[in-house]
């Protein structure tokens, strides 16, 4: 995306905004994880205290687990699974943040070299990309050479190309 007034690349700003959003989501997930852990710890402590009290009340008899204890254990297991799922989501979001940060760093490095990075969109060709950046499609071979493309016809959506200014 480019600024309509000065035609500067706004891609880095969009990436920074996306990183900030992902970071906020990560903080929320971490907060939920902490709450779930506290609930699980509280449930375990309550269960342990109840078992200790019932053992102290009756030293000679062995109590069978009650339905309430089974329910608590099931709830603890359920919470442990939720905590694990939340941790997996946090790990996934961390990976996305790292990818976005690497992309932003790459764009900054390319910009410092007088280059821009372009992510190929579905339906784009080197001709249309050349026309977008240079005003004419006939400079498509220049893009191919700058990116060491063996076959310029074999670019696909998602490929990243260096565009020299």
Nearest-angstrom CA–CA distance, 96 and 113: 26
Nearest-angstrom CA–CA distance, 5 and 22: 29
Per-residue pLDDT of the chain (165 residues; tens, 9 = 90+): 666 676 667 677 777 778 878 878 888 888 888 888 888 888 888 887 777 666 655 554 555 556 777 888 888 888 989 999 999 999 999 888 888 888 777 767 666 677 888 999 999 999 999 999 999 999 999 999 999 998 888 899 999 999 988
pTM (2 d.p.): 0.39
pLDDT score of 16? 78
pLDDT score of 137? 93
DSSP secondary structure, 130-144, as one string: HHHHHSSGGGHHHHH
Tokens of 128: 């249309």
Determine how many CB atoms are found less than 10 A away from the CB of residue 126: 21
**Strand, helix or coil at 2?**
strand
Residues 29 and 90 sit within 8 Å (Cβ to Cβ) = yes
pLDDT score of 136? 95
Nearest-angstrom CA–CA distance, 81 and 49: 24
């Amino acid at each position: 995306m480019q600024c309509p007034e000065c035609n500067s690349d706004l891609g880095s700003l969009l990436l920074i905004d996306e990183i900030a959003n992902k970071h906020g989501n990560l903080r929320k997930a971490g907060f939920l994880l902490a709450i779930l852990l506290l609930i699980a710890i509280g449930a375990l402590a309550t269960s342990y205290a109840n078992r200790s009290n019932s053992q102290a009340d009756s030293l000679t008899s062995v109590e069978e687990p009650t339905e309430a204890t089974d329910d608590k254990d099931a709830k603890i297991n359920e919470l442990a699974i939720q905590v694990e799922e939340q941790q997996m989501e946090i790990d996934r979001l961390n990976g996305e943040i790292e990818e976005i940060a690497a992309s932003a760093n790459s764009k900054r490095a390319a910009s410092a070299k007088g280059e821009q990075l372009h992510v190929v969109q579905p339906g784009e060709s080197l001709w249309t990309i050349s026309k977008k950046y240079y005003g004419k499609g006939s400079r498509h071979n220049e893009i191919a050479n700058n990116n060491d493309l063996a076959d310029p016809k074999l670019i696909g959506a998602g490929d990243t190309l260096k565009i020299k200014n």
